[in-house]
């Protein structure tokens, strides 16, 4: 089991706080602090003589070692920030494109999310290289399981081996690596934040939040997982928050069997943790007894061993555990399946991103991203358990069973129209805050929807666009705003779809039927949406 804590090894600068005491081991360098002779021997075995000298200082007195650590950090920060995430061996032998290391030349560096990098990205890179005609393609793992490279050659006569590097130390590390010019593509399971945008723009990488630099390649969800033998099948958002903050400590408090709840969590560098913290904890402190784990696979393994355990992980990998349905407020519980995640109506849905600088010069980067967003890449994404960005139709669609409407006329209109739908598309158009401007994903989804309508020959079909808003402000104004958003999507679709003889109608529902909490910015973003339905054929 890998417990991700703050590292006392000053040669390992992956973690920011080098003085935190309550930790056991570091996943990045395998440094293990133990007192006395045991610690000395362990240091000799794991990280060598250079770190042994500092270990001696730790043994003789923490005050002395702390001063040494601070001095080391000051020196490294003033000389070069490039060692912040790298391991000691990488500090002396940085892998950059065009440089031979371990008998191979790195042509592309992809760093960031563990959710993407562990399994999905290696598969995508292998598929991309195979399509380009590369041979002898194989993925190898370094001494750290979160660091991989996909090796390949262009011909049997080629003496040189090339590789594409995939480092998976968490979403936040992607943007740090951009600052250090240490990667070409960033993998994240969260959106870039304003601070990161400003930093990268200031060093000449451009605005990474634009449609030119931000690519949503898939959708995932955070699954709340328990042991398969746990009788609990669903929890509310509030209950999950109380468990992970320590307010609820026994399964009997939730109607389950008596047993002290054991909490497992992803590490702080994980985009999965960042999303969970924002959507579930909502400014509450995480339970101090929670066990931090870097690897998704290891977390699932731990939960599968203990009937009283609970954790959260990516929807795409839940191992031998049981995912729970989630409810919010009085809404019905929603299970994390592919359609609910694709429409982002499962509360803990999240987007999977790739980022690259605006001025990216590496041809491998642009080619790989194009491959990933095309059909072949999306098939691999589907095989790996993620929801694709391809458009699908759910012909077994059923309207909400228990919607709570403030306006009875709106409820009657919704039931009358939507109950006649032949199917619903697996996309919600989302908007930027307070406007009718589509967000980056929706801009690209628009083209996908139009292509889907052409490809599936919905020549004489009627399309219904149902718009919604958040609940901030006047109810009637929100009805108008939701209608305007639906009209905006209609305008964009009709530019091409009208040529097929199709009809596009709109319905504005305002703040009715929220799919997420209006108490968070992320929840309001999802509630400001336009749903797409295929209606009966026109006679």
Please say which residue of 383, 405, 440 terminates a domain.
383
- Containing 166, the helix (H) or strand (E) segment is strand 161-167
Q: Where are the beta strands (DSSP E) in 392-442?
A: 393-394, 423-430
Q: What are the tens digits of pLDDT across the range 233-255?
A: 999 999 999 999 999 999 999 99
Please say which residue of 71, 89, 107 terminates a domain.
89
Please say which residue of 89, 108, 127 terminates a domain.
89
Q: Are residues 277 and 337 in the same domain?
A: yes
Residue-wise DSSP of 243-282? HHHTS--BGGGGTS-S-B-EEEEE-TT-HHHHHHIIIIIT
Question: Phi/psi at 59 (nearest 5 deg)?
Answer: -65, -40
For residue 176, name the pLDDT band (cuts at 50, 70, 90): very high
Q: Are residues 97 and 207 in the same domain?
A: yes
Neighbours of 118 (CB within 10 A): 21
What's the structural domain count of the chain? 4
Q: Are residues 399 and 528 in the same domain?
A: yes
**Residue 229 to residue 126: CA distance in whole angstroms:** 38
> Is a pLDDT exceeding 90 seen at residue 312?
yes
Question: Lowest-pLDDT range, 58-72, 99-113, 180-194, 375-389?
Answer: 58-72
Instruction: Please state, for a pLDDT cut of 90, what percent of the chain lies above it.
Output: 48
Rounded mean pLDDT, 489-514? 84
Sign of CA dihedral 498, 504, 510, 513: negative
Domain of 529, CATH number, reads 3.30.1330.60
Q: Are residues 227 and 138 in the same domain?
A: no
> Is a pLDDT exceeding 80 seen at residue 489?
yes
Give the structural domain span for 355. 92-218+351-383
The whole-number pLDDT of residue 395 equals 77
Q: Are residues 254 and 232 in the same domain?
A: yes
> Is a pLDDT exceeding 70 seen at residue 18?
no
Q: What are the tens digits of pLDDT across the range 323-336?
A: 999 987 656 788 99
Rounded mean pLDDT, 256-285? 88
pTM higher than 0.85, yes or no? no
Q: Please tell me which residue, 76 or 449, carries the higher pLDDT value.
A: 449
The helix/strand/coil state of 12 is: coil
Q: What are the tens digits of pLDDT across the range 344-391?
A: 889 888 899 999 999 898 999 999 999 999 999 999 999 988 889 989
Q: Are residues 337 and 252 in the same domain?
A: yes
The whole-number pLDDT of residue 462 equals 87
Q: Are residues 406 and 462 in the same domain?
A: yes
Neighbours of 343 (CB within 10 A): 22
Note whether 526 and 516 are within 8 A (CB): yes
Q: What are the tens digits of pLDDT across the range 102-131?
A: 578 999 999 999 889 989 999 999 999 999
Half-sphere exposure of 216 (CA within 13 A, CB side): 22
The whole-number pLDDT of residue 460 equals 73
Q: What are the tens digits of pLDDT across the range 400-438?
A: 655 567 777 777 777 877 778 888 999 999 987 767 789
Q: Are residues 467 and 402 in the same domain?
A: yes
Note whether 225 and 353 are within 8 A (CB): no
Q: Are residues 136 and 98 in the same domain?
A: yes
**Residue 388 to residue 372: CA distance in whole angstroms:** 10
Q: Are residues 447 and 508 in the same domain?
A: yes
Residues contacting 409, CB < 8 A, separation 6+: none
The most confident of 40-44, 81-85, 289-293, 449-453, by mean pLDDT: 289-293
Q: Where are the beta strands (DSSP E) in 42-160?
A: 100-101, 104-112, 135-141, 147-153
Count Cβ neighbours within 10 Å for each residue of 64-103 and write b for 16 or more, e otherwise: ebbeebeeeeeebeeeeebbbbbbbebeeeebeeeeeeee
Neighbours of 362 (CB within 10 A): 16
Q: Are residues 109 and 52 in the same domain?
A: no
Note whether 14 and 84 are within 8 A (CB): yes
> Given the DSSP bridges, would you call strands 423-430 and 135-141 parallel, antiparallel or unpaired?
unpaired
Nearest to 274 by CA among 222, 226, 345, 336: 222
Count Cβ neighbours within 10 Å for each residue of 130-149 and write b for 16 or more, e otherwise: eeeebeebebeeeebebbbb
Q: Are residues 418 and 369 in the same domain?
A: no
**pLDDT averaged over the chain?**
79
Question: Lowest-pLDDT range, 38-52, 302-316, 483-497, 516-530?
Answer: 38-52
Rounded mean pLDDT, 94-106? 55
Domain of 194, CATH number, reads 3.40.190.10
Rounded mean pLDDT, 34-53? 37
The three-point CA angle 134-138-144 to 5° equals 135
């Amino acid at each position: 089991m890998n417990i991700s804590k703050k590292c006392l090894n000053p040669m390992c600068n992956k973690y920011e706080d080098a003085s935190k005491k309550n930790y056991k081991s570091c996943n990045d360098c395998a440094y293990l602090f133990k007192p006395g002779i045991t610690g000395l021997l362990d240091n000799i075995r794991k990280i060598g003589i250079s770190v042994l000298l500092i270990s001696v200082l730790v043994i003789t007195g923490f005050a002395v070692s702390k001063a040494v650590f601070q001095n080391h950090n000051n020196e490294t920060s003033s000389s070069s920030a490039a060692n912040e995430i790298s391991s000691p061996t990488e500090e002396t032998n940085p892998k950059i494109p065009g440089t031979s290391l371990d008998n191979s030349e790195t042509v592309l560096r992809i760093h960031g999310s563990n959710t993407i990098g562990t399994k999905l990205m290696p598969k995508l890179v292998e598929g991309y290289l195979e399509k380009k005609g590369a041979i002898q393609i194989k993925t190898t793992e370094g001494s750290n399981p979160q660091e991989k490279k996909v090796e390949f050659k262009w011909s049997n006569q080629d003496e040189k081996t090339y590789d594409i590097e995939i480092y998976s130390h968490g979403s936040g590390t992607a943007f740090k690596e951009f600052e250090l010019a240490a990667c070409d593509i960033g993998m994240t399971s969260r959106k870039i934040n304003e601070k990161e945008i400003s930093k990268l723009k200031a060093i000449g990488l451009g605005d990474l939040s634009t449609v030119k630099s931000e690519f949503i390649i898939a959708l995932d969800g955070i699954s709340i997982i328990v042991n398969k033998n746990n009788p609990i099948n669903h929890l509310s958002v509030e209950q999950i928050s109380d468990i992970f903050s320590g307010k609820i400590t026994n399964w009997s408090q939730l109607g389950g069997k008596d047993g002290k709840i054991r909490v497992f969590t992803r590490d702080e560098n994980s985009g999965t943790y960042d999303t969970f913290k924002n959507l579930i904890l909502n400014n509450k402190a995480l339970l101090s007894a929670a066990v931090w784990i870097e690897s998704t696979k290891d977390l699932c393994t731990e939960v599968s061993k203990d009937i009283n355990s609970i954790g959260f992980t990516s929807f795409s990998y839940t191992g031998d555990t049981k995912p729970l349905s989630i409810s919010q407020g009085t809404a019905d519980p929603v299970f994390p399946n592919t359609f609910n995640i694709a429409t982002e109506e499962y509360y803990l849905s999240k987007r999977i991103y790739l980022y690259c600088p605006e001025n990216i010069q590496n041809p491998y980067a642009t080619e790989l991203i194009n491959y990933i967003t095309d059909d072949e890449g999306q098939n691999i994404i589907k095989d790996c358990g993620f929801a694709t960005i391809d458009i699908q139709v759910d012909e077994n669609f059923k309207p909400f069973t228990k919607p709570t409407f403030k306006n009875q006329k709106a409820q009657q209109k919704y039931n009358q129209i939507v109950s006649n739908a032949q199917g619903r598309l697996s996309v919600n158009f989302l908007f930027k805050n307070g406007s009718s401007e589509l967000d980056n994903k929706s801009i690209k989804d628009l083209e996908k929807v139009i292509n889907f309508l052409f490809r599936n020959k919905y020549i004489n079909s009627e399309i219904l666009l149902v718009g919604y808003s958040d609940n901030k402000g006047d109810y009637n104004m929100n009805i108008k705003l939701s209608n305007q958003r639906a009209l905006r999507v209609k305008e964009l679709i009709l530019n091409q779809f009208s040529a097929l003889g199709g009809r596009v109608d709109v319905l504005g529902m305002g703040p009715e039927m929220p799919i997420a909490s209006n108490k968070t910015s992320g929840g309001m973003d999802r509630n400001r949406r336009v749903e797409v339905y295929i209606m009966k054929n026109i006679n």
